[in-house]
Homo-oligomer: A and B are copies of this chain.
Amino acid sequence: MAKSKFEYVRQFETDDTCLRNCYIVVRLDGRNFHKFSEKHNFAKPNDNRALGLMTRSAQSVMEELEDVVIAYGQSDEFSFVFKRTSTWFKRRASKLMTHVASQFSSSYVFYWKEYFAEQPLLYPPGFDGRVVLYPSNRNLRDYLSWRQADCHVNNLYNTSFWTLIQKGGLTTIQAEERLKGTLAADKNEILFSDFDINYNNEPMLLRKGTTLIWEKVRPNEAVTKMVKLPNAEEQKEITVTRSRKRVCPHHCDIIGDQFWEEHPDILERDDC
């Protein structure tokens, strides 16, 4: 067969193994989601259905890839953090990021109806991704803090912007003009003085984004498993008791220490 003659082309593949002992972060971003959200009538400034679907898709990724120890999402982006010692796909960057992008995207379409019952999906959406490595717990936490700080900045802006339009009757151009050069304190003041909105009472989901982690579900559950016995052709049904884990969402601050002190198992030690 002519196979061997062409097989040399495999040598053109390159090795993109991620450096050991580093956290591997895969971040996905929606492609052209400005247009996508308009075509699908997303509520402004936030659409709870869309945020719910993002979270559901991220859960699907984590359930497929147990080495993801934490994921964080806001708006049309989601970051997945593989544990330092993960050997999934032999740590090959291309495999990790394409699998995450693929699983997330197929889940987004698959679960669409559960969140957008009456609103049909008009075309298949796209997400692009990247891989970034972080060598220390500090670096990783700073990465997640960066994303959560970004969530806050954007949400405060968007809340102010759309309140000026929806409640204040401004045009988009006028609202842009009104907010130009304002600091966080100014926006808080506009919301409070003009619209009687205390931004700190806005939902945590919107101000803090969504953090997904694995949590143990108690009491331990009895699980029935098929196992292949040694020296046997047939499988046998056995019952094992194991502590079940589940992906759970949080909408809390992850910049400060409290979250990390309450969940000491997420990060591995630096001195390994």
> Interface on A for B, CB 8 Å cutoff?
1-3, 5-15, 17, 19-22, 28, 31, 60, 64, 89, 93-95, 97-99, 101-111, 121, 123-139, 142-143, 145-146, 149-150, 152-153, 184, 255, 270-272
Contacts and interface: CB of A to CB of B under 8 A. Distances in A.
Contact of A6 (B8, B14, B111, B146): B146
Given A1-B152, A143-B6, A13 B132 contact: yes
Task: Work out how many copies of this chain go into the complex.
Answer: 4
Contacts of A1: 149, 152-153, 184
Given A6-B149, A109-B124, A98 B95 contact: no
Nearest to A94: B130
B104 A142 contact: no
Contacts of A130: 13, 94-95, 98
A3 B142 contact: no
A98 B110 contact: no
Contacts of A10: 146
A19 B174 CA distance: 44
Nearest to A11: B20
